Structure 1
Amino acid sequence: MARVLFALLTVVLVSGFARADDKTEMKALAGKWTVADAEVDGKKVSETFKNLELVLEGGNYTVKVGGMEDKGTVTVNTAKAPKAMDVSGTEGPNRGQTYPCIYELKDDTLTICYGLDFKTRPTELKTADKSNTMLIVYKRKK
């Protein structure tokens, strides 16, 4: 019984640290981002996304492109390797959809690989033909 309690306590403590790390990560992700590069299924599509702006703040996102807005929530799991992100639409064209993603944040560069089938989380920060993934490299807007 003592082992079970110790194991349960360990899981609770580790989960608490992961959540604290996730909150710190969400603060680091906060800001306005513009697209530096993009590809879908191994094909460059940067031109398509050149006017897109991503705003991350307080666990929420807003994507603005042209006159259109898409809004929703973002959650991260920094305990995973690579780091995991779920992007869930609440308003706009992605309402009701959740993209399983992986991401990397380095200084003012945010790279996100989105699973476009809404089920499969990518395992690498790259796309390939018929992979059903989208990779976007964002630069922090200053």
Structure 2
Amino acid sequence: MLRVCAMLGVIGMTTLVMADPPAAPAETDLDRLQGSWMPLQCEVEGKGQMPDKLKEQVRVVFDKNEYHLYFKDSKLGKDGKPIVLRLALASVTLDATANPKTIQFEFADGQLKGKKCHGIYELAGNQLRMCYGSAEKPKPTKFESPAGSGYFVETWVRFEKK
């Protein structure tokens, strides 16, 4: 009996060693967002909001489920380095199973502290497109920001992957 158990143990161990290793978990949209992004386009209620010079000074960094909005001032600090201000900090929640995919921001710092925004998003290659507005308004269903809607439509391009 001991021999049979030993053989079964060896067969079991051989099967474990020969079996394929477990597959790595699939990359989620949140994983794909990680890193630094720069704006390509930003509009509010159908009107452009960010001149090209300003686009060069703005960055969004996704760090895990946090959204950090930064502005690099054209002035230099006492140390001779550019002054970088964090304008906002928000937690981000995604629902990649919704159609269209949805995003929610809950601001923890900055002028929007305590506010929530919700909207839709699309990730395509190195571009992120979002349409969002205040959580007090209906969630947008299209990438449009008509007059009076209070919706933002933004397109970001990956600047640096984390």
CA contact (8 A) 2:116 2:135 kept: no
Q: What 5-or-longer segments of structure 2 have no aligned partner?
A: 1-24, 74-84
Q: CA deviation at 1:47?
A: 1.5
Cα-Cα RMSD: 2.0
Q: What is the match of residue 15 of structure 1?
A: none
Q: What is the match of residue 73 of structure 1?
A: 91
Normalising by structure 1, we get a TM-score of: 0.78
Q: CA deviation at 1:122?
A: 0.7
SS at match of 1:36: strand
What is the CA–CA distance in structure 2 between the aligned matches of 1:117 and 1:73, rounded to whole Å?
14
What is the CA–CA distance in structure 1 between the aligned matches of 2:133 and 2:66, rounded to whole Å?
19
CA contact (8 A) 1:97 1:118 kept: no
Q: What is the match of residue 35 of structure 2?
A: 31
Identity between Structure 1 and Structure 2 (%): 25
Residue 123, structure 1, aligned to residue 127, structure 2? no
CA contact (8 A) 1:116 1:134 kept: no
What is the CA–CA distance in structure 1 between the aligned matches of 2:145 and 2:129, rounded to whole Å?
12
Structure number with the higher helix fraction is 1
SS at match of 1:141: strand
Normalising by structure 2, we get a TM-score of: 0.69
SS at match of 2:51: helix
What is the CA–CA distance in structure 2 between the aligned matches of 1:137 and 1:52, rounded to whole Å?
13
Which stretch of structure 1 is more off in the superposition, 105-114 or 124-133? 124-133
What is the CA–CA distance in structure 1 between the aligned matches of 2:159 and 2:124, rounded to whole Å?
14
User: What is the total number of aligned residue pairs between the two structures?
Assistant: 122
